[in-house]
Amino acid sequence: MDKIKATEIAVEKYDFMTASEISIYLGIGRSQAYEIIRKINEKLSSEGFLTFSGKIPRKSLLERLP
């Protein structure tokens, strides 16, 4: 069997974006990116998910973009 590195698992399961990454990705300021993070984290928290301040799952952001 092939060995799987811990970093490969972390990237697949825990692919988070920070405000800096979101601001670059969307072409907005960091303060706006933090507001997006707060809103998405509030939504995820209300759905029972564990959230981390200053980070959101990449999948959650991409699902909410048009």
Owner of token pair 């973009």:
65
What tens digit of pLDDT does each residue of 52-65 get?
999 999 999 999 99
What tens digit of pLDDT does each residue of 27-47 get?
999 999 999 999 999 999 999
Tokens of 39: 């809103």
Tokens of 4: 């799987």
Give the Cα separation of 57 and 10 in Å (integer).
Answer: 12
Query: pTM, whole model, 2 decimals?
Result: 0.76
| Mean pLDDT of all residues in 6-23 | 73
6 pLDDT exceeds 80? no
CA dihedral 51→55→58→1, nearest 10 degrees, is -80
Residues 6+ apart with CB under 8 A from 63: none
pLDDT of residue 1: 44
The closest alpha carbon to 31, from 17, 40, 19, belongs to 19
